[in-house]
Amino acid sequence: MRALFVTLLAIVSSFAARAAEPVNVAAAISMRESLREIGKLYEQQTGQAVTFTFGASGQLMAQIRNGASIDAFISAAAKQIDDLDKAKLIDPATRRDVAGNELVLIVPSDDVTSPNGIRLLTSPAFKRLAIGEPKTVPAGQYAEQTIAKLGLAEKLAGRIVYGANVRQVLDYVARGEVSAGIVYRSDVVDSNRKARPVIIFTENVHEPIRYPAAVIAPSKHADAARAFLDYLGSDRAIAVFTAHGFTRPPRAEPVPANK
């Protein structure tokens, strides 16, 4: 009888320990401030802790492919999720878009001489433009699409500086190391006025910006990870995303806030 009690106690303790373990979420660095805020709200409401790893979506995808201990992934573009799906490294049933965004052209906040809009990129005073590295940074891919669609690829040849992620692009602009940069609107909202936007690009010059998410297939905390992704569709979480400059993803269906 005592042996049975000890066994049951061990099982209960094991489940309790597992429930207490944080959910590890890898996410595009453009979501850093908003997800940290949402993570705190979620832990207060549910008692479930969430830890985050932020970086360029392509770099995070590579870490997951190499076996990083990640429970869920939020990318800034569909390609990374698509690639993980092909490799059977996500649970496709958990896939959903959690937010959208807009692409903006920015200049240093103290620069009051630059022309507004596209005229900036064709101005004689224009020197260098910073964008994310297109191979790993979705914002860089959208920027490349925009430059090509506007017919500026030849004019900007040799004058583009590549950042390891979208926040590095923002820093280049804030420090005045480049004349302008292309980032997400949410980055400007969270920049503490280090830069100011001079144009918001419309979606007809780049693919729609969506943040797809999914639970990683090998995750040992799949149920907890899925519950957190569900919460990202709640009215409370969407309000945080919106306050940080994100938009609702197309066809997003809010999940009840108590879920």
pLDDT at 217: 96
pTM of the entire structure?
0.82
Q: List, as one string, the DSSP characters of the chain.
A: -HHHHHHHHHHHHHHHHHHHSPEEEEEEGGGHHHHHHHHHHHHHHHS--EEEEEE-HHHHHHHHHTT---SEEE-SSHHHHHHHHHTT-B-GGG-EEEEE--EEEEEETT--SSPSGGGGTTSTT---EEEE-TTT-HHHHHHHHHHHHTT-HHHHTT-EEEESSHHHHHHHHHTTSSSEEEEEHHHHHTTTTSEEEEEEE-GGGS---EEEEEEBTT-TTHHHHHHHHHHTTBHHHHHHHHHTT-BPPTT--PBPTT-
pLDDT, one tens digit per residue, over 4-58 is: 433 334 333 344 444 569 999 999 999 999 999 999 999 999 999 999 999 999 9
Residue spans of the domains in the chain: they are 2-100+211-243, 103-205
CATH superfamily name and code, 103-205 = Periplasmic binding protein-like II (3.40.190.10)
Task: State in words which class domain 2-100+211-243 has.
Answer: alpha beta
